[in-house]
Amino acid sequence: MNFHLDNALLQPAIALIAGILILVSPSLLNYVVALYLILLGITGLWPHFSS
């Protein structure tokens, strides 16, 4: 079984995890949003760096 991650699958998964973390602990909002934006930027730029 070959498992391939692409942006179409990875970005919604990151958003789901970030949303759950914010619901569980609202005091982590700043850290979760910052981490979400960093991961979103990395997944968006990754195809340009890997080629």
pLDDT score recorded for residue 11: 80
pLDDT score recorded for residue 46: 79
pLDDT score recorded for residue 30: 92
Q: Please identify which residue in the block is written with the tokens 């498992």.
A: 3
Instruction: Phi first, then psi: give them for residue 5, nearest 5 degrees.
Output: -95, 135
Domain count, the chain: 1
Query: Which domain covers residue 31, as residue numbers?
Result: 8-45
CB-side neighbour CA atoms (13 Å) of 19: 6
Residue 31 lies in a domain: yes
Residue 18 lies in a domain: yes
pLDDT score recorded for residue 1: 61
pLDDT score recorded for residue 2: 64
Residue 2 lies in a domain: no
- Which of 49, 13, 14 is CA-nearest to residue 35? 14
Residue 50 lies in a domain: no
Residue 7 scores a pLDDT above 70: no
Reported as a single tens digit per residue, the pLDDT across 12-45 is: 888 888 889 889 988 989 998 998 889 888 888 8
Residue 14 lies in a domain: yes
Residue 1 lies in a domain: no
Residue 50 scores a pLDDT above 80: no
